[in-house]
Chains A and B, each alone.
Chain A
Amino acid sequence: MATPAIEILSLTKDYPLGYWRPGKRRSLDNLSLEVRDGEVFGFLGPNGAGKTTTLKLLMGLIFPTSGTARIRGRSIEDVGMHREIGYLPEQPYFYDYLTARELLDYFARFFGYTAAERRERVARCLESVGMTQAANVQLRKFSKGMLQRVGIAQAILHDPKVVFLDEPMSGLDPIGRREVRDIILNLKRDGRTVFFSTHILSDAEMLCDRVAVLVAGKLQGVGAPEEIMSLEVKGMEILADLPAGRALPPSLAAHATAAGQRYRLQVPEAGLYDAFGALRESGARILSVAPLRPTLEDYFLRLVENQKAASHAVEVTSP
């Protein structure tokens, strides 16, 4: 069996509530996850769900309270493993006294490239994020979107096998977002594994082979976006035209929206045949019938609501 690109094993992270306050706040709760080699994996969740905490744990920027993780079979404590990974932090900030070219050259030095190799790589990465024109501008003059692009460039500078992107679309305009999507797809085409966190669900639906949803530090589900969306049928949608001067029977009117004589009805799956009968009696012409499936967004929002209802207590008091 092939080694997974990322294996997260019961990862838990507690933070102290404060210097003077006893107890801990659980930011990540027993997360176990496996990301396959070569997949684009979306890590979804609302703000404060624990996405950034997970990425920081994987990068060794913070240390787990319990559990561990492996990337390409190597422990996250192994600094040598960092040769194989790239990381874009959330809202990245870099040395603003350097130019984009100097910054990338600085990072490239850690991989032992020769001067010629560095020049070539830096130029290629700057081009791939559309920053060639601004290569010699100091980063203190960069906008948030430009910093984001430089951040992506430094994450892919050394052709890493696994790329971690924390909210890569954040701060980007629609063109920038499309470019980042293209970069992610290019990475996938080159056989790289991409693990990215986002709360922009359309990006996840568009790009990801699989997604995981995290709410309040707990994993709520993992699967292909279409799997998650097709977990249930919310109901049926009927599109029908009524003859002029005719109205929908009262039993259906409550479920309908109208544009002229064209009606869009949303009815429960069990009530579909009753609706057909009523429409036939009204002389309606049925144009289409389609199942109503929840979008990833519906799924996501419902999880958040459930979580809120179930518990506000994610605080763990000390023994």
Chain B
Amino acid sequence: MTRNVGIVAVNTFREAVRDRVLYNLIFFALLMMGAAILVGQISIGIERLVIINLGLTAISLFGLVMAIFIGVGLVYKEMDRRTLYSVLSKPVRRSEFLVGKFGGLLLTLGVNTLLMTLGLAAALLYVDRHLTRSDGGILVAVYFILLEFALVTALALFFSCFSSPMLSTVFTLGIYIAGIFARDIRDFGALTHSPVMVFLTRTLYYILPNFHNFNAIASASHGEPIPLSLVGWNTLYAALYVAIVLLGASVVFSGRNLK
């Protein structure tokens, strides 16, 4: 099981590299360089805050775009081009293939994020000449961003098992946005005092991925400590959520007639 997942994952990573997906790093590097030069001229005493904010937001945005747009095509493209046929005629389960594709994109996003984080660190060093202990929060924020990527990739993969890339993009993006406001949706329901609305919004709150908890950019840029318990809970939450979504995707994909 693990071996096949690994083989598919490494090949998916190789595909991303050869399709020049990592070229987005050039734009990120240019953005960081430009920001580092500009920020020194226009900001007084908040250079670090601006660079960290901008850097982490860019890491998150670049990665999300990749997770959604590559994620929705991961399985669909294989079905459409029928590259899947030869793979599935080997002793490979559909669920192994699916988890392998997920792992491959996550690996790509991981490498991409790691390189971007190094770019952010370089920009920070350029404006401030040193890194502080509180910059450790940046790493936690990056870790949360990666967990977010895992959730989004799993959702994109799930939708791509039964719908077109365009619809999958709409669904994934819709759930991502709704997931950011999951807590607000629940609170809104509570305000109505209607038992039906309270029930509905609470249900929605539990079903939707709670992306709000994964946003530690503000804390990292202000050098505020991020509680270790939050790291643990977010890790557990993301792992469980991803497992459930991938299980659902496997069930759908395993029963699907390939065209």
Task: Give residues in A with beta carbon < 8 Å to B.
Answer: 56, 59-63, 79-80, 82-83, 85-87, 89, 92-95, 97-98, 106-107, 109-112, 151, 154-155
**Complex contact B85–A89 (CB within 8 A):** yes
Q: Of B11, B14, B86, B92, which is in contact with the most chain A CB atoms at under 10 Å from its CB?
A: B86
Main secondary structure of the interface of B (DSSP, over half): helix
**Complex contact B14–A93 (CB within 8 A):** no
- Distance in angstroms from A141 CB to nearest chain B CB is 13
- Distance in angstroms from A179 CB to nearest chain B CB is 20
**Is residue B258 within 8 Å, beta carbon to beta carbon, of the partner chain?**
yes
**Complex contact B91–A61 (CB within 8 A):** no
Contact of B89 among A85, A95, A97, A98 (CB under 8 A): A85
- Measured CB to CB, the nearest residue on chain A to B255 is A63
Q: Which B residues are CB-close (under 8 A) to A94?
A: 83, 86
- Measured CB to CB, the nearest residue on chain A to B93 is A79
In whole angstroms, how far apart are the Cα atoms of A128 and B38 in the complex? 62
**Is residue B7 within 8 Å, beta carbon to beta carbon, of the partner chain?**
yes
Contact of A151 among B86, B87, B90 (CB under 8 A): B86
**Complex contact B82–A93 (CB within 8 A):** yes
Contact of B86 among A79, A85, A89 (CB under 8 A): A89
Q: Which B residues are CB-close (under 8 A) to A82?
A: 89-92
Q: Which B residues are CB-close (under 8 A) to A86?
A: 89
Q: Which A residues are CB-close (under 8 A) to B257?
A: 61-63
Q: Which A residues are CB-close (under 8 A) to B18?
A: 97
Q: Which A residues are CB-close (under 8 A) to B19?
A: 97
**Is residue B235 within 8 Å, beta carbon to beta carbon, of the partner chain?**
no
Contact of A106 among B7, B84, B255 (CB under 8 A): B7
Q: Which A residues are CB-close (under 8 A) to B86?
A: 87, 89, 92, 94, 107, 151, 154
In whole angstroms, how far apart are the Cα atoms of A89 and B85 in the complex? 7
**Is residue B193 within 8 Å, beta carbon to beta carbon, of the partner chain?**
no
Q: List 27 A-B contacts (CB under 8 A).
A: A56-B85, A56-B258, A59-B85, A61-B89, A61-B258, A62-B257, A63-B257, A79-B91, A79-B92, A80-B91, A82-B90, A82-B91, A82-B92, A85-B89, A87-B89, A89-B86, A93-B82, A93-B83, A94-B83, A98-B14, A106-B11, A107-B90, A109-B7, A110-B4, A110-B7, A154-B86, A155-B89
Taken residue by residue from 226 to 259, chain B's Cβ proximity to chain A (1 for < 8 Å, 0 otherwise) reads as 0000000000000000000000000000010110
- Distance in angstroms from B10 CB to nearest chain A CB is 9
Q: Which A residues are CB-close (under 8 A) to B89?
A: 59, 61, 82, 85-87, 89, 155
- Distance in angstroms from B161 CB to nearest chain A CB is 15
- Measured CB to CB, the nearest residue on chain B to A102 is B14
**Is residue B81 within 8 Å, beta carbon to beta carbon, of the partner chain?**
yes
In whole angstroms, how far apart are the Cα atoms of A277 and B147 in the complex? 95
**Complex contact A97–B91 (CB within 8 A):** no
B 7-42 contacts with A by CB, 8 A = 7, 11, 14-15, 18-19
- Distance in angstroms from B17 CB to nearest chain A CB is 9
- Given A83-B91, A93-B81, A111-B91, 10 more contacts at CB 8 Å? A59-B88, A61-B89, A63-B257, A85-B89, A86-B89, A95-B15, A107-B87, A109-B3, A112-B3, A151-B86
- Distance in angstroms from B71 CB to nearest chain A CB is 18
Q: Which A residues are CB-close (under 8 A) to B85?
A: 56, 59, 61, 87, 89, 92
- Distance in angstroms from B215 CB to nearest chain A CB is 35
- Distance in angstroms from A142 CB to nearest chain B CB is 14
Q: Which A residues are CB-close (under 8 A) to B255?
A: 63
In whole angstroms, how far apart are the Cα atoms of A256 and B109 in the complex? 77
Contact of B82 among A89, A97, A98, A112 (CB under 8 A): A89
- Distance in angstroms from B73 CB to nearest chain A CB is 14
Q: Which B residues are CB-close (under 8 A) to A59?
A: 85, 88-89
Contact of A95 among B83, B91, B92 (CB under 8 A): B83
Q: Which A residues are CB-close (under 8 A) to B91?
A: 79-80, 82-83, 110-111
In whole angstroms, how far apart are the Cα atoms of A28 and B202 in the complex? 49
**Complex contact B11–A95 (CB within 8 A):** yes
